[in-house]
Amino acid sequence: MVVGGSGDGVHIVLSYALLRMRASMAGMSHAATCLDDHPHAEPDPGAASVAVTVAERTPSIAPPTAAAARFSTGWWSLPPVRWALLSTVLFVAGLLLRFAGVPGWLPAMLFAGCYLAGWQALRERSLDVDLLMIVAAVGAAAIGQVVDGGLLIVIFATSGAQEAYATKRTADSVNALLTLAPEQATLLSRDGVEAVVDTAILQVGDEILIRPGERIGADGTVTDGTSEVDQASVTGEPLPLLRGPGDEVFAGTLNTHGALRVRVSRPASESVVARIVTLVEQASATKAKAQLFVERIEQRYSVTVVLSTLLVFAVPLAFGAGLRPTLLRAMTYMIVASPCAVVLATMPPLLSAIANAGRHGVLVKSAIVMEQLGQTTQVAFDKTGTLTQGTPHLTDIHLLADLRAGEVLRLAASAERLSEHPLGRAVVAAATDRDLVLADAVDFAVTPGRGVTAVVEGQRVQVGSPALLTSPTPSQTVTITAVEGKGHTAVVVLVAGRPVAVLTLTDQLRPTAAATVAALRNLTGHTPVLLTGDNALAARSLAEQVGITDVHAALLPAEKAQRVQALRQAGRHVLVVGDGINDAPALATANLGVAMGRHGSDLTLQTADAVLVRDDLTALPALLRLSRGARRAVVQNLVLATLAIVGLVTWDLLGTLPLPLGVLGHEGGTVLIGLNGLRLLRKAAWRP
């Protein structure tokens, strides 16, 4: 505490300021439900029957743009940020005027404004250590230490503003997910008349038209048309899927080439994308409740220290004790009983571990996360982009005719040169890596679900799915079956109508995946599980390569979260590792979530508790070991801090503890605790 000076108080402030500088998920509740109404677009004048229906409807949720506007006003829209900034400006101005020798009344007014602004920034916060800081600042000012008190106010107000800003960023990222689904869709009447309407007013049974290149406006079932749909944002599938009559499609996914008619099966508020937002919010709120116990203890302890200090001062006075010795005893008691030592018992080891992890490419968002990582007993992996690199690569060329592999690849890449399909880009990339010179292609055409056709050097070249082979020979069938049986993608190449090769493309496994799985099995006592939206064949093939036996495939985001919840209910402390938007609910439902940093979605990076910035899987077991080392150091420090506080408080109450000796004992213990925590900064503490 700051009474005669600011040393002890500054220790408390710095500790708690660091603790509060985290990407908190608290305050995200209602992020998807506090949206404003938005008037729907005017229907086409010729669409009378549709217009009547549209006019009678009330949007169930607001369009994404309304949400984006609500959450895009910037950091200045946050009152704690404005008050903290004003407090800082007034403090710095008062300090400069004081050093410049300006008459004392002017700096005093600025410092008073600093105190008031800081109080505004903190007044909505709970009565925990914030209460001690305010009491300390007022006490410091009362005995003439105005600068010390102002410094406390500024630092604590700034830490509160940082937490408010972090919370706003998280809410923004969750709300931005709603922009995946388009704001408007083309509604078809029974007689085929089109009307552009807001997706928020679509009802179950409506039929909408999705043209090539448009995002699908609602969850539904295809009634007419065939196209490839990129569902990576929802299911995690690495490649677009062929969708035709009877197939289910999801809001926010991208229609590539063909036109589709879709019958709406869920209103906008119940779409898969909207449910992802809801799941993240609910899981995050549950996680926040688990932290209330610590906050309640902090509040009670802080209030107890203040009240007991008043008793230590008032009771002896009531029995005739002298004012000066009683005041000194109370001041000493407040200093030695303050939670500074306990706070520093946890922060130096955890912050040192966070810094060490940062040096090795791992961003851990808070000290609480670092502490809990070591408790992990079960790891769950996503497949695409996590255990694999997330993009298809050409791994083999099976020749079916008398052509060289290089020539086949050159012709195929020349035909695919204009394609936007991931498989086409992979073929072109493979040819580029081999320094092949591609030829110009003419008469380029795309057939959804089948592939591309182009004329290359006078020859008609087709590259696509095995469906291009109308009458495959037994040997061709064996080759294709062998490729697909291993979970790979088979792409056939035809030149002048003659099959010449089968290309094997696969989402490459990360080189360190198997070693990471083995290390995590040894650390946690359980083999990691695989949770993926990819098909079962590909999932099982990859699981066999890395040593995973528990595989759950073809999962939607909500189903991933349910699997994670089942693991938690079985008594496991679950750590989920993923990269896509579809992984966000699982990351939020788990005890802890880790995101892949290079290609992770904004929502996943915000939801995750830690980020592998370099996508290095070997950092995971090293991170768990580091966390366990930090937890051991915390226990050691807590024992030392508790003994120091109990001993000094007992001495002060039962004997006569001089104020300087009390400060020395308290500060000395704090220094030892800090040095013990700094051991986690050593290179030896990181063991891959």
pLDDT at position 68: 41
Any idea what the CATH number is for the domain that residue 203 is in? 2.70.150.10
Confidence of residue 147 (pLDDT cuts 50, 70, 90): low
Residue 631, domain member (yes or no): no
User: What is the C-alpha end-to-end distance of the chain, expressed in Å?
Assistant: 41
Residue 6 sits in the same domain as residue 76: yes
Residue 187 sits in the same domain as residue 170: no
Per residue in 567-585, pLDDT tens? Answer: 999 999 999 999 877 788 8
Q: Of 105-114, 516-525, 624-633, where does mean pLDDT reach its minimum?
A: 105-114
| Distance separating alpha carbons of residues 290 and 295, to the nearest angstrom | 10
Residue 660, domain member (yes or no): no
Query: What is the average pLDDT score of the chain?
Result: 76
Residue 307, domain member (yes or no): no
Task: From 181, 207, 238, give the residue that closes a domain.
Answer: 181
Residue 143 sits in the same domain as residue 219: no
Does residue 607 carry a pLDDT above 80?
Answer: no
What integer is the mean pLDDT of 338-359? 75
Confidence of residue 326 (pLDDT cuts 50, 70, 90): confident
Task: From 274, 295, 327, give the residue that closes a domain.
Answer: 274
Residue 103 sits in the same domain as residue 174: yes
Residue 80 sits in the same domain as residue 196: no
Does residue 610 carry a pLDDT above 80?
Answer: yes
Residue 226 sits in the same domain as residue 267: yes
| Distance separating alpha carbons of residues 402 and 8, to the nearest angstrom | 83
Does residue 353 carry a pLDDT above 60?
Answer: yes
Residue 232, domain member (yes or no): yes
Q: Is the model more confident about 191 or about 456?
A: 456
What integer is the mean pLDDT of 482-508? 91
Residue 70, domain member (yes or no): yes
Residue 347, domain member (yes or no): no
Active site residue 382: yes
Any idea what the CATH number is for the domain that residue 398 is in? 3.40.1110.10
pLDDT at position 93: 82
Task: From 181, 208, 240, give the residue that closes a domain.
Answer: 181
Q: Using the Cα atoms of residue 397, residue 402, residue 403 and residue 408 in order, give the sign of their dihedral.
A: negative
| Distance separating alpha carbons of residues 115 and 265, to the nearest angstrom | 57
pLDDT at position 461: 96
What integer is the mean pLDDT of 673-685? 82
pLDDT at position 538: 83
Tally of structural domains, the chain:
3
Q: Indicate the pTM of the whole model.
A: 0.61
What integer is the mean pLDDT of 455-473? 92
Residue 186 sits in the same domain as residue 176: no
Question: Which is nearest to 611 in space by CA: 622, 603, 626, 600?
Answer: 600
Distance of CA 504 to the CA centre of its chain: 34
Residue 247 sits in the same domain as residue 102: no
pLDDT at position 1: 33
Residue with tokens 């020979």: 473
Residue 613, domain member (yes or no): no
Phi and psi, residue 337, nearest 5°: -90, -10
Residue 11 sits in the same domain as residue 95: yes
Per residue in 116-137, pLDDT tens? Answer: 765 665 555 444 555 555 665 5
| Distance separating alpha carbons of residues 626 and 604, to the nearest angstrom | 24
pLDDT at position 544: 93
Does residue 42 carry a pLDDT above 60?
Answer: no
Residue 492 sits in the same domain as residue 424: yes
Q: What percent of the chain has pLDDT over 90?
A: 27
Q: Is the model more confident about 51 or about 679?
A: 679
Domain hosting residue 76, numbered range: 1-181
Task: Give me the sheet containing 227-230, strands edge to edge.
Answer: 241-243, 227-230, 254-255
| Distance separating alpha carbons of residues 403 and 411, to the nearest angstrom | 11
Residue 71 sits in the same domain as residue 151: yes
Residue with tokens 């950092």: 619
pLDDT at position 604: 72
By the 10 Å C-beta count (0-12 exposed, 13-18 middle, 19+ buried), 73 is classed as exposed
What integer is the mean pLDDT of 281-287? 50
- Candidates 148, 198, 219, 382; catalytic one: 382
CB 116 within 8 A of CB 172: no
Residue 640, domain member (yes or no): no
Residue 65 sits in the same domain as residue 154: yes
Confidence of residue 622 (pLDDT cuts 50, 70, 90): very high
CA distances from 607 to 17, 30, 167, 287, 306 (A): 22, 16, 11, 12, 37
